[in-house]
Each structure stands twice: as structure tokens, then as C-alpha cells.
Amino acid sequence: MSTSQTDETSFVHWMRDASPYIRAHRGHTFVVHLGGELVADPLFPQLVQDLTLLAGIGVRLVVVHGSQPQVSARLAAANLEPRFVGSGRVTTAEVLARVKDATAAVRFDIESQFSHATRVRPLGTTPLRINGGNYVMARPAGVVDGIDLEFTGDVRRIDGRAISQQLDIVDVVLISPLGYSPTGETFSLDALDLASAVAIELHANKLILLSREAGLLDAQGALVRELTPREAREYQRREGSHQQELANAVRACQSGVERVHLLDAGDGALLLELFTRDGVGTLISNAPFDQLRQATIEDVGGIVQLIEPLEATGALVKRSREKLETEIEHFMVVVRDGATVACGALYPFVADRCGEIACVAVEPAYRQFGFGKTLLAALEQRAVTLKLEAVFALTTQAKHWFQEYGYVAVELERLPSARQALYNFQRNSQVLLKELN
């Protein structure tokens, strides 16, 4: 197969895998935070193309941009030394003038890139429409540690209704880190805090915090894939990066935003995060990313996809869809982001005080995550709940795996007589048993 054919095949597979996410994202509201450093990055045009793709599939897209590096450059050029109180900058009238200038320049750059990204389009279609407005009401941050922050402000109110109305008629709403008071004053705002406030007001499905850093890393330097708000608070208490992002993520989740993504805005990272099951950033969500639960009739299709390859190799006994439907109450599944990635069943023999562990299957790409172990423990716990004293498994290829978790090989005669009668001597399965304490 040629390189071009391989690329075409990969593209077809990627599109098929991405199609459920395309359907799921359509009509949802995403708020994306872009730091000013990203706008100056050489890869920014590619990022804008990816954002344009989101708008093109029907995502209601709000972009909140920062301008900190651009402000710093203008202050340096004017020989103005910035003053900070804690994390807040003192914004004098002179500084505010540079803030307005830098923010306007960044805004024009973003709009220009969006226009450029849609320059090539099918005949008869209109270019992407991007719009903004005075959606943000602000108030002065006030005096901190005895120092007046002057024109540094806090978000007072977001006109969510006006933003929603704009999203009905334009593709992207662009919001700059400036707010206005009823008396006509302008205040400089923190873009990250503003993005969180916008997401909360719009009840956004996603808040995406893009930066030039990877997502959250653990003590060993590995990417932390997912966190609950409680876990995120624990990370926030530690010294390290992403402190402000974590604080805003927790606040957003607690205020109704479904998911917050911390993501390095490298080339294509946004698409990998949103259109693949595992993503490439850190997800913070109230809803668990991985769910271990009782299977339902809706899970039969996913279970069939898991076990068919193992049935083909002889590792599992073939089960028809009809049989699975009638026995679904015996099954448990592990679901990751809506997809069934592991399954297993417990068939109780109550009179004999034992149960059969059967049909344990884990999608190959997820075997390193320990889902098989988790599932096996859950099935054993179910057996304990049913007051069973032992569980057994019949296997042709997974003997060592079961033995790792306390199962021992026994004679066929140790099985309940009803199960012995169903034993397939042609398969010659090994019998393993575990006593439950």
C-alpha cells in the first residue's frame, strides 16, 4: 500500500471514530480561553483553523482572549514599570491607555486570522462571521493591601442573553478582557477569570483553557488525564503550575459547567482533545470520565463489539446478541466517555453458594489502565453481596491472569453439578476457583 493510500485510510478511520463526537458537540456551547502569548505564536493560524472547524460543525463558540504579553511590551516601550499587588496589576490611566491599545491590536489580529482561515470555501457559502460587543459589566477591584488598583476591575455581570442571541446569528463571539461600568469607565480584566465567568453565565458545556503548557502533570511528570473538582482542589493546594487554571476550573464545575479542559495548544491538540476518546489534555468534570456500573440493554451493542474478536480467537464462548439481551442483568461494564471499554458477568449458583465469573473482556487499547482488575473486583464484591462463598472461572487463555488475583486451578468436580453438565470437553477449559472471605 502506498503512502498516500495509507494516509487516506487513516483519514477515513479517524473520521469514523470522530463522527460520534461531531454529533455530540453540535449545538453545544464552548468557551475557549486564548492567552495573548498564543496569538503571537507561529502556530496560531493552525489553532484558528481548528476553532473554525468547531464553528463549522455547529459548535456555539465563544472565544475570550488575553493580551498580557502585548500589554507588557507596550509598557516597556513607554518606559512604564508595571506595579503588582499580589496577582493584580495597578492599572493607572497611563497603563490603561496601553491596555486598550494592546487589546485592540490582539482583537484585530484574531479577527484577521479567522477571516484568513475561511478564505477557501465551497462556492456559494459565506465566510465565517465573528462578532463582539459590550457584554461585560465591570467594577473596580478596589484597594488591596492599602493600594488602589485604580482601573483594574472585576467582572460584575455578563450579558449572557445578548451573547446567546449573537450565537444564533454569527459563528463566533469574541470577547476582550475589558469591562465597562454604568458610568462609562473602562476596566482591565483578567482574561482567565473572565472566560470562567462567561462559561458559567452561558451554562457552557465546555470551558477550554488553552496555553503553551501541557495539561496537569503528576509527581512523576506524567499527564493527569482526568480529575474531579475535589481532586483538582488537592492539586491546587500544592506548589506548581496551573494554579489559576485549576481555581477557575473548580469554580466553573461547581457553577454548572459540564467539563473543563486544560490543554497545550500545540498543532492539532484541540482536535485530538475533542474528537478522540482519550484526548491529550487534563479533563476536570463533576461526572466521572470512567464509569463502572450495571449493564443495561443499551450496552449490548458495545459488549458485542468487545467480545466478538475474543470469540473469533476462541478465548470466549460465542454468545448471540439475543442471549446477551436475556442475560444482561448478570453483566457489568466500564464505560469511558460513552464507549464500553470493558465488560464481565457473574452467574450465581445460589444453592451451591458460588458463582461463575464469565465473559471478561477489555478493549486492547485500555488493558494497561487496570479495567480488568477493577471489573473483576466489582464482580467478586457482587458475589459477596449475594452471600456466595466462592467464585470460579473457566478459561482457555487467561489462566495466569486469574491466578494473579488469587484464583487456583481445581478439578472439574469442584463446579456445581449444573455447571458440570454444561462443560464443553472439546474446549478443554481450565477451571479456576477463589474462596471469598
pLDDT of 135 strictly over 90: yes
pLDDT of 125 strictly over 70: no
Average pLDDT, the chain: 89
Same domain (yes/no): 244, 296: no
pLDDT for res 230:
85
pLDDT for res 118:
66
3-class DSSP state for residue 331?
strand
Per-residue pLDDT of 386-421, as tens digits, reads 999 999 999 998 999 999 999 999 999 999 999 999
Helices (H), 286-412: 300-313, 321-326, 371-385, 399-404
pLDDT for res 213:
82
Same domain (yes/no): 46, 133: yes
The position carrying cell 456445581 is 416
Domain-terminating residue out of 287, 317, 332 = 287
What confidence tier does 2 reach under pLDDT thresholds 50, 70, 90? Answer: low
Same domain (yes/no): 48, 170: yes
- Rounded to an integer, what distance in angstroms lies between the CA atom of residue 173 and that of residue 169? 10
pLDDT for res 4:
60
> Considering just the CA atoms, what is the radius of gyration of the chain in Å?
28
pLDDT for res 358:
95
Q: What percent of the chain has pLDDT over 70?
A: 95
Domain-terminating residue out of 253, 287, 321 = 287
What confidence tier does 8 reach under pLDDT thresholds 50, 70, 90? Answer: low
pLDDT of 338 strictly over 80: no
pLDDT for res 15:
78
Q: Record the pTM.
A: 0.73
Per-residue pLDDT of 277-336, as tens digits, reads 778 899 998 876 678 899 999 999 999 999 999 998 888 989 999 999 999 999 999 988
Same domain (yes/no): 320, 281: no
* CATH code for the domain of 171: 3.40.1160.10
pLDDT for res 186:
95
Domain-terminating residue out of 266, 287, 308 = 287
pLDDT of 369 strictly over 80: no
Q: In what order do the strands lie in the sheet with 136-140?
A: 153-158, 136-140, 178-180, 186-188
pLDDT of 13 strictly over 90: no
3-class DSSP state for residue 87?
coil
* CATH code for the domain of 317: 3.40.630.30
- Rounded to an integer, what distance in angstroms lies between the CA atom of residue 387 and that of residue 436? 10
**C-beta of residue 144 within 8 angstroms of C-beta of residue 88:** yes
Same domain (yes/no): 249, 303: no
- Rounded to an integer, what distance in angstroms lies between the CA atom of residue 342 and that of residue 303? 8
pLDDT for res 7:
64
Cell for 155? 467582572
- Rounded to an integer, what distance in angstroms lies between the CA atom of residue 373 and that of residue 91? 56
pLDDT for res 179:
95
Per-residue pLDDT of 14-26, as tens digits, reads 777 788 888 889 9
- Rounded to an integer, what distance in angstroms lies between the CA atom of residue 243 and that of residue 238? 9
Same domain (yes/no): 263, 302: no
Same domain (yes/no): 375, 296: yes
Could you give the angle at which helices 229-237 and 243-254 cross, rounded to 10 degrees?
A: 150
Average pLDDT over residues 175-196: 94
The position carrying cell 470493558 is 342
pLDDT for res 239:
63
pLDDT of 205 strictly over 90: yes
Per-residue pLDDT of 50-80, as tens digits, reads 999 999 899 999 999 999 999 999 999 999 9
Same domain (yes/no): 274, 342: no
Same domain (yes/no): 263, 134: yes
Same domain (yes/no): 334, 411: yes
pLDDT of 198 strictly over 70: yes
Same domain (yes/no): 36, 131: yes
Per-residue pLDDT of 280-297, as tens digits, reads 899 998 876 678 899 999
Query: Counting every residue, how long is the chain?
Result: 437
What confidence tier does 121 reach under pLDDT thresholds 50, 70, 90? Answer: low
Q: Which residue has the higher pLDDT, 1 or 186?
A: 186
Query: Domain of 408?
Result: 291-435
Q: What percent of the chain has pLDDT over 90?
A: 64
pLDDT of 219 strictly over 70: yes
pLDDT for res 119:
61
- Rounded to an integer, what distance in angstroms lies between the CA atom of residue 5 and that of residue 1? 6
Per-residue pLDDT of 94-118, as tens digits, reads 999 999 999 999 999 999 998 887 6
Same domain (yes/no): 78, 226: yes
Domain count for the chain: 2
Rounding to the nearest 10 degrees, give the CA dihedral for residues 232, 233, 238, 240.
Answer: 50
